[in-house]
Structure 1
Amino acid sequence: MNAIKLFASEGIDSDIQAHYRFITSVKNTAEIHTHDFFELFLILKGSVIHCINGTRERLEENTLVFIRDRDVHYYEQTDEGDCQFINLSFHKEVIDALFDYLGEGFPKLKILSPDMPPTVRLSKTEKEYVRYRLDRLNLIPHTDKARVKAEVRALLAELFTRYMTMDDSPDWSEQPAWLQELSTEMKKKENFTEGTSAMLRVSGKSHAYLCRMFKKHLGTTPIQYINRLRLSYAENLLLKTDMEIVDICLEVGFENVSYFYDLFKRQFNMTPHKFRVNGERKISY
């Protein structure tokens, strides 16, 4: 079956440069197609077979997918029935402007280059937040095109920096959905400061299983992963606050100051105090 090509000029308002849809059934989606624009879709309810670039993959509720302008895809119902999802389509110019704004520090090649598009399984809370952000577009009068356009760009900047940063990992695309969701949840301060007990609670997995999966997919251990998050947070507290170092140690989840100092020196090749002093020398108040 040959893919049809959809064009932004035929379905997306040129002033807004984006189009938002709530889709109640797979039956209301296009047959196999590609397009000259980009899109994000979020599955709100049910599951779907996503046929993408020659591969059939089952997507469950809470899954967020970014479709590039070169991807070829369509949808099929699962045996369990239909699904509902939200779709946001936008011009190539919008994504180019977003990547220019985010700069070289944003890993756009890890998003644009792989054979398969970025797919992220969100927690239920995160799914509801994204839905809320998308639904806000419906609160703006369609005639206020400049405001809708600004809201779309603000939304995309938030979604890409929040969910599409794709942490460095040699096999990110092979990570199971639950591990992607766990990684997102563990970036929350209340979780990484609590440590492995939060990881066990959030994931619902055993410690031994987590150790095997983290080693396989991330090349690290659960505690090393958590400590990396804690140290990154501590680094910023040292540079951006006047908190005492012992208080920073406790704030990021370390109960032992000596252990914190040892890990920090291994990571940054200097003590927390020297790190702060060096940073202050570069800043004029």
Structure 2
Amino acid sequence: MHNQLLLKDFLKNNERFYVGKSLFHSNIKSNFHSHDFYELFFVEKGTFIHYINNEKYYLPVQSIQFIYPEDRHCFSAKKDKETTITNLAFYFSDLDDKCKLFFNKIRQDNYNQEIPSVYALDYQWSSIFSKLNNLKQMPVEVQEYYFQSIIYDYIFIYNINISNNQNNEIIPRWLHHAKEEIKEQDNLVIGLKKFIELSGKSQEHLTRQMKKYYHKTPAQWINQLRLEKMETLLLTSKMDILDIIYDVGFHNVSYCYSLFKKKNSLSPKDFRERNRRIFDA
């Protein structure tokens, strides 16, 4: 069960566009809803958790998401974090003909599923967000130009995201987020269980997507990170080797030694002794 939000309930006087800012805490989750309007939302702060059409995505700062009226979605913030987003809501009739064709086409290209979120580089974000913040401050006769410029900026960013990914494939935002978050010490120690939790997907789906985009299983990615951290600690600390093994998240010492020797052709002890002189110099 969900609500349908109506744009007329947000507009005042003769306004055509709605711009609003929302702050989410980790203990707040909005209700599932759809709209009678189109929407762009911009992640200003924190990590935004977006539930849309039975999928879950983690969107970092400077992410932008386009929403169709029929998309059923809700949001929350990452645990123990605050997230700020700004929404731009409008009717499809406010778009010019070229933009209408663009949004209809990418909807079809995504098989009527949600459009992937995009990530704006600093200069792109500064440009589009400045216009967004100033939109409602402009005289009414100028607002139309600002609005169209924001939409064209978004289309530009979307196409840049497409072209910057190999084979014109966009790495899912949830996968990129989970892959980066698992690097955190506490997450790395927990390992695969935490990786699955961070992804918001099943283990099977996470494995398929990791193989597709990174040519590794989730477990292989975790072990690679653990070995890299282990190498760093061997060279930059005086920690006991067993303590390092457990600190990076390995629970089976012989398995860790096997992986380490396969990667470096040296045992952890020999690796430390052979390479440490570089750091002691």
Query: Structure 2: which 5+ residue stretches go unaligned?
Result: 177-211, 214-281
Residue 146 (structure 1) aligns with: 141
Name the CA shift for 1:88/1:24 in 2 (closer, same or farther; >3 Å): same
What whole-Å deviation, never above 9, does each CA across 1:49-107 have from its counterpart, x for those lacking one? 11111111111111111111111111122114111111111112123x3xx13586x47
Q: Contact (CA 8 Å) 1:44, 1:83: kept in 2 or not?
A: yes
Q: Which AA in structure 2 matches 1:159?
A: Y
Name the CA shift for 1:69/1:112 in 2 (closer, same or farther; >3 Å): farther
Name the CA shift for 1:6/1:29 in 2 (closer, same or farther; >3 Å): farther
Deviates more, 1:60-69 or 1:152-161: 152-161
What whole-Å deviation, never above 9, does each CA across 1:198-248 have from its counterpart, x for those lacking one? xxxxxxxxxxxxxxxxxx66xxxxxxxxxxxxxxxxxxxxxxxxxxxxxxx
Name the CA shift for 1:113/1:169 in 2 (closer, same or farther; >3 Å): same
TM-score by length of 1: 0.52
Counterpart-to-counterpart distance in 2, 1:177 and 1:123: 18
Residue 89 (structure 2) aligns with: 89
Counterpart-to-counterpart distance in 2, 1:112 and 1:14: 35
What's the Cα RMSD here?
Answer: 3.5
Cα deviation, residue 113, structure 1: 5.1
Task: Look up the SS of the partner of 2:146 in the other structure.
Answer: helix
Q: Which AA in structure 1 matches 2:169?
A: W
Counterpart-to-counterpart distance in 2, 1:35 and 1:16: 17
Q: Does 1:110 align with 2:109?
A: no
What whole-Å deviation, never above 9, does each CA across 1:117-163 have from its counterpart, x for those lacking one? 231012233323322121121432xxx32322332123212322343
Name the CA shift for 1:138/1:28 in 2 (closer, same or farther; >3 Å): farther
Residue 22 (structure 1) aligns with: 21
Q: Contact (CA 8 Å) 1:48, 1:77: kept in 2 or not?
A: yes
Residue 131 (structure 2) aligns with: 133
Counterpart-to-counterpart distance in 2, 1:52 and 1:68: 11
Residue 122 (structure 1) aligns with: 120
Q: Contact (CA 8 Å) 1:111, 1:118: kept in 2 or not?
A: no
Cα deviation, residue 29, structure 1: 7.7
Q: Contact (CA 8 Å) 1:18, 1:88: kept in 2 or not?
A: yes
Counterpart-to-counterpart distance in 2, 1:34 and 1:56: 16
Q: Which AA in structure 1 matches 2:40?
A: L
Counterpart-to-counterpart distance in 2, 1:91 and 1:14: 16
Q: Percent identity?
A: 17
Alignment of 1:47-86 (within 5 A): 47-86=47-86
Count the aligned residue pairs. 176
TM-score by length of 2: 0.52
Name the CA shift for 1:176/1:60 in 2 (closer, same or farther; >3 Å): closer
Counterpart-to-counterpart distance in 2, 1:103 and 1:31: 28
Cα deviation, residue 112, structure 1: 5.4
Counterpart-to-counterpart distance in 2, 1:170 and 1:68: 26
Counterpart-to-counterpart distance in 2, 1:171 and 1:31: 34
Instruction: Kindly report structure 1 stretches of 4+ aligned residues shifted beyond 6 Å.
Output: 168-171
Q: Contact (CA 8 Å) 1:34, 1:73: kept in 2 or not?
A: yes
Name the CA shift for 1:162/1:76 in 2 (closer, same or farther; >3 Å): closer
Q: Which AA in structure 1 matches 2:77?
A: Q
Name the CA shift for 1:109/1:34 in 2 (closer, same or farther; >3 Å): same
Q: Which AA in structure 2 matches 1:172?
A: E
